[in-house]
Amino acid sequence: MRFWLLLLATAASTAACAQEPLIQRENNYSLRNESVLAIDKGLAWLREHQNAHGTWGQPTSTLQTGLALTAFLRQPIHKYDTDLKPEFLEKSLDYFREGLQRHGYLTQDPSAEAAYVIARVLTATNLSEWNGINKNIEKNIDTNLRAAFPPPPKKNQAKAATEAHQPQTSVSFEEAFRMLETLYLISLGTDSPSYHKDPSFSTMIDVLSKLQCLRTPKSTISKSTDYGGFACDPDGTRQITIAWKATDHACALSTYTGLFGLISGGLKPTDSRVTAALDWIGRHYTLQENAGMGSEGYYRSLNRMAKALSLAKIRDLSLTGGRKIDWAREETLKIMDLQNIDGSWMNRGSQEQMESDPVFVTAEMVLTLELLYYEL
């Protein structure tokens, strides 16, 4: 697969949004305007907390810089997505340009995170001057996917080849999600994503499905409150090869992440794994916490919720008892209510490094509101 070349070819034509926008609801007109004000307030906070050389984070974080930059570029009324960008954004772009030109990648470990950040930035703007980028990036995307998820052996191959097919145990659920979203971003603008046909990707989806609580012969899972959900991964380090265990329990962050993976992997809305995940969400829906895990991972669960449900093209979410809700409206109102008076967001009830970092959480919430804007 030539993922990187495909990314460069499609970045300019797919900068607008992740998928065909829905017809926006008339009763949400006022809320859309209010959400833009909240977005701009969050962006103003990010502008105030940018480092002098154009990056974000203490110390400088490629992930935070990429997310913050993308948040500016995806402002829904295209305030910053212009040919002539403000000096502070040009500084951020220069950080990426220098890293790509000098090193061919952005971090000392050019793996899922580097590819993820680059895909986010490049699909948010037309950076045609990067067409001569070092091919190490393309190689890293290929290498990481194939090393983590080797394609199945052919029927006539020896037992040793079958054993070699086992996925790497070092790949975490969070890293797998970043690979999935990176590949999805790369495929934007194509009717039939090429990665769906790759054996390594098929292996990845199969392994991901094992983290889901599903019915098996002679099991009592169908009676479990966890049925359809994905196993909790509190710190984002759970190895993706660790299948659902009797001691596991499901949570919203993992289930929204898993649903995004299944849909981006090409599974149909009628697939039993997709319907089971949506069923769990309908039974456990809440915007007050990361259901099943409390305050930990709360803001990331809000972000994954918007990504998963918008990708699944869910307009009204079905809840237990037959009630349907305009989930995008409810989530927008909740995120706006959570915004601090200075424009930032932060999870004060979390011990997790990312969730307690206002730069990361603010960038993620701005990006979430920008996605929700098109769902209202």
**CA 176 – CA 118 distance, rounded (Å):** 16
232: left (phi over 0), alpha (psi -120 to 50) or beta: beta
Residue 239 — φ and ψ, nearest 5°? -70, 135
Q: In this predicted model, what pLDDT tens digit does every residue of 338-353 receive, in sequence order?
A: 999 999 999 988 877 7
- Closest by CA position to 251, among listed 307, 210, 211: 211
pLDDT at site 10? 32
Structure tokens at 211: 């983290």
**CA 68 – CA 57 distance, rounded (Å):** 10
pLDDT at site 16? 39
pLDDT at site 111? 53
Report the SS3 class of residue 183.
helix
Distances (CA, A) of 336 to 47, 68, 333: 19, 18, 5
**Cβ-based neighbour number of residue 222 at 10 Å:** 12
pLDDT at site 214? 86
Bond into 59 cis (ω within 30): yes
pLDDT at site 135? 47
DSSP-H helix ranges across 49-158: 62-73, 87-103, 112-122, 136-148
pLDDT at site 303? 97
pLDDT at site 125? 65
pLDDT at site 41? 98
Dihedral over Cα of 106, 54, 187, 203: its sign? positive
pLDDT in tens, the chain (376 residues): 333 333 333 333 333 344 455 678 888 999 999 999 999 999 999 999 999 999 999 888 888 999 999 999 999 998 887 777 899 999 998 887 777 666 555 444 455 676 677 777 777 766 555 544 444 555 565 666 666 666 666 655 555 444 444 555 567 788 778 877 877 776 665 566 666 666 667 777 787 888 899 876 555 555 578 999 999 886 667 777 778 887 889 999 999 999 999 998 888 889 999 999 999 999 999 999 999 999 999 999 999 999 999 999 999 999 998 999 999 999 999 999 999 999 999 998 887 778 889 999 999 999 999 999 999 9
pLDDT at site 240? 74
**Is residue 15 a contact partner of residue 125, using CB atoms and an 8 Å limit?**
yes
Tell me the three-class secondary structure of 323-376, residue by residue. CEECHHHHHHHHHHHHCCCCCCCCCCCCCCCCCCCHHHHHHHHHHHHHHHHCCC
- Closest by CA position to 314, among listed 18, 74, 22, 76: 22
**CA 303 – CA 296 distance, rounded (Å):** 14
**Is residue 139 a contact partner of residue 128, using CB atoms and an 8 Å limit?**
no
**Is residue 110 a contact partner of residue 127, using CB atoms and an 8 Å limit?**
no
The label of the residue with tokens 């949570």 reads 251
pLDDT at site 132? 45
| pTM for the full predicted model | 0.85
Between CA 205 and CA 85, with CA 62 as vertex, the angle to 5 degrees is 110
Structure tokens at 343: 């424009």
For residues 102, 106, 110, 113, the Cα torsion angle rounded to the nearest 10 degrees is -170
Options 3.40.50.1970, 3.30.70.1350, 1.50.10.20, 3.40.50.620; which CATH number does 3-373 get? 1.50.10.20
**Non-local CB neighbours of 44 within 8 Å, separated by 6+ positions:** 343
**CA 105 – CA 91 distance, rounded (Å):** 18
pLDDT at site 11? 38
The label of the residue with tokens 């993620």 reads 364
Instruction: Give residue limits of the domains in the chain.
Output: 3-373
pLDDT at site 17? 43
